[in-house]
Copies of this chain bind each other. A is one copy, B any other.
């Protein structure tokens, strides 16, 4: 693990009053290294058995509670995790970006750059947060498809 990255991860942990431990650094590293949201099974595979499965669950849960990562369900209902934006806090998440789910590879991308539309609120309801999921084919699967045709 690169030294500067370790420092960054350590700072994230300290900011949330969490002790700096190997499992937590490993989880942060592995989530950070992917450009798509990662599920518990994927993390288990990529981290290897350096850390216990139960610990992995516990780390993911506490990271979500603290607002370090946010949970997104993929098309099959499996929980996946991605880093939160810096303004997330323990009690309020601010991850109101579009989540793109690829129907071929099942990957989830957090598309920060797309601006969110306004949703009109029906009478009697109040809306605190809007979650937008776009479902389609991601850029990687599209190029694979194009390659297989040509």
Interface residues of A (CB under 8 A from B): 71, 73, 77, 79, 98, 100, 103, 109, 111, 113-115, 117-139, 142-143
Contact A119 B119 (CB under 8 A): no
Q: List the B side residues contacting A136 at CB < 8 Å.
A: 121, 125-129
Q: List the B side residues contacting A138 at CB < 8 Å.
A: 124-125
**Contact residue among B115, B125, B129 (Cβ-Cβ distance under 8 Å from A139):** B125
> Can you list 29 contacts pairing A with B, beta carbon distance less than 8 Å?
A71-B77, A73-B73, A98-B119, A100-B125, A100-B127, A111-B122, A113-B122, A114-B119, A114-B120, A114-B122, A117-B119, A119-B132, A121-B134, A124-B138, A124-B143, A125-B134, A125-B136, A125-B137, A125-B138, A126-B136, A126-B137, A127-B134, A127-B136, A128-B135, A129-B135, A129-B136, A131-B132, A131-B134, A132-B132
Docked pose: A111 CA to B119 CA in angstroms: 11
Docked pose: A121 CA to B132 CA in angstroms: 13
Q: Which 7 A-B pairs have the closest CB atoms?
A: A117-B117, A124-B139, A127-B136, A131-B133, A129-B135, A128-B136, A127-B134
Contact A142 B126 (CB under 8 A): yes
Docked pose: A131 CA to B132 CA in angstroms: 6
Chain B residue at smallest Cβ distance from A113: B122
Q: List the B side residues contacting A134 at CB < 8 Å.
A: 119, 121, 125, 127, 129-131
Q: List the B side residues contacting A103 at CB < 8 Å.
A: 128
